[in-house]
């Protein structure tokens, strides 16, 4: 393909892409997520050159990267904190689509977006295991043990995932391979996500496609660039001044299967779903609840009406949305607390409100 054809494709899909006039800065988090994904893949490739996927060497290889590789500390902190920025950007991007009801108008974009979220979660979880610190080891043990709740075949599935009878050498080797390959699949889904978006176009903040449009490069390209600059400043401040702010101190202790941490917690971006998991006293019920909390996003396009949103609808919907975000923050806080009273009771209440919002409030709004 000639350079002229490549430029023509770029110009048609980026520079001259027709975009609604009434868009705000929240629309920039989609492109920002793509940029962060590119940074994660790039830093991950360089880290993989020095990482050793073995329970005897994984922890020491990460420490060697930090101390002996030129700028290895920068690569490691950029990759670790890049995962947090990826989730911040992705969650805001989804929240924007949720608030402006984008899923009503473009099911393809929304569905592929949910798949991207699921893949990102899987990649992040597997990546968190690789440093083989205490929280990595026990986080992997707790999460992979969940599948043992599946009747008849649960234990066999767990042993297949582990490559033995417990989390061990085979587990970390498999996780390293999967962590390296899954981003390639994620990139393909992202391309599909963009294809669906460009086929139908972006929804305006007024809840409609029918609005005046301008070329993306004339205005929104600059807005996205400004958002990227703010991200870059925050990114480098975090990885140079506060690199461990979003991590857990126990992960600087080498994983020991004979010593259980006093309080096992996942990374912050999993905490709301972890709270939902722990809120159910039954293990299989907790797994179903946690999975449903995410997969329920796929059915949202079928719960609401497809028409121009009235001011009354927007006002009521906005109030419910703010309440929903508040519930998510409460669940995130609860996920980091010990599994004891009164946190367990509050987790049950907040988890119930999460599902009530999806099943009751949204369906109720459908008839307004």
C-alpha dist (Å) from residue 178 to 91, 161, 330, 338: 23, 11, 32, 31
Catalytic residue among 13, 50, 213, 223: 223
Cβ atoms of 20 and 212 within 8 Å: the answer is yes
Catalytic residue among 250, 267, 289, 347: 267
Does the active-site annotation cover 348? Answer: no
Catalytic residue among 198, 283, 314, 348: 198
Does the active-site annotation cover 93? Answer: no
Does the active-site annotation cover 223? Answer: yes
Catalytic residue among 202, 289, 317, 347: 202
Does the active-site annotation cover 57? Answer: no
Minimal CA–CA distance to 278: which of 267, 299, 264, 262? 264
Does the active-site annotation cover 224? Answer: yes
Minimal CA–CA distance to 276: which of 325, 326, 346? 346
Class of residue 155 by CB neighbours under 10 A (exposed 0-12, middle 13-18, buried 19+) = middle
Specify the residue for token string 């608030």.
Answer: 99
Minimal CA–CA distance to 132: which of 219, 253, 224? 253
- CA angle 266/270/271 to nearest 5° reads 75
Catalytic residue among 224, 248, 289, 317: 224
Cβ atoms of 136 and 128 within 8 Å: the answer is yes
Distance CA 91, CA 191 (A): 19
- Report the catalytic residues: 198, 202, 223-224, 267
């Amino acid at each position: 393909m000639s350079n002229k054809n490549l430029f023509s494709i770029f110009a048609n899909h980026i520079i001259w892409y027709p975009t609604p006039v009434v868009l705000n800065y929240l629309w920039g988090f989609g492109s920002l997520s793509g940029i962060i994904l590119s940074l994660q893949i790039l830093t991950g490739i360089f880290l993989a050159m020095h990482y050793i996927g073995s329970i005897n060497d994984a922890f020491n290889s990460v420490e060697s990267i930090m101390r002996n590789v030129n700028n290895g500390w920068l690569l490691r902190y950029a990759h670790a904190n890049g995962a947090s920025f990826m989730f911040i950007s992705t969650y805001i991007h989804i929240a924007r689509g949720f608030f402006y009801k984008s899923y009503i108008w473009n099911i393809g974009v929304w569905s592929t977006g949910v798949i991207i979220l699921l893949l990102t979660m899987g990649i992040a979880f597997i990546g968190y295991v690789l440093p083989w610190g205490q929280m990595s080891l026990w986080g992997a043990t707790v999460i992979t043990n969940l599948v043992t709740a599946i009747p008849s075949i649960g234990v066999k599935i767990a042993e297949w995932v582990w490559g033995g009878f417990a989390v061990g050498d085979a587990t970390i080797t498999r996780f390293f391979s999967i962590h390296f390959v899954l981003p390639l699949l994620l990139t393909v889904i992202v391309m599909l996500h963009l294809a669906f978006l460009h086929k139908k176009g972006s929804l305006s903040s007024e809840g409609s496609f029918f609005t005046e449009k301008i070329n993306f490069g004339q205005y929104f390209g600059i807005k996205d660039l400004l958002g990227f600059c703010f991200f870059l400043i925050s990114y480098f401040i975090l990885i140079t001044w506060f690199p461990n702010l979003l991590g857990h101190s126990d992960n600087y202790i080498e994983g020991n299967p004979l010593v259980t941490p006093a309080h096992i917690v996942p990374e912050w971006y999993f905490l709301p779903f972890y709270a939902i998991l722990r809120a159910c006293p039954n293990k299989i019920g907790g797994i179903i609840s946690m999975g449903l909390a995410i997969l329920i996003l796929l059915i949202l396009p079928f719960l609401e009406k497809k028409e121009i949103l009235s001011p009354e609808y927007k006002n009521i919907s906005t109030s419910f949305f703010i309440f929903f975000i508040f519930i998510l923050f409460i669940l995130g806080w609860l996920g980091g607390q010990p599994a004891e009273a009164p946190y367990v009771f509050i987790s049950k209440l907040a988890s119930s409100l999460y599902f009530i919002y999806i099943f009751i409030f949204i369906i109720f709004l459908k008839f307004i």
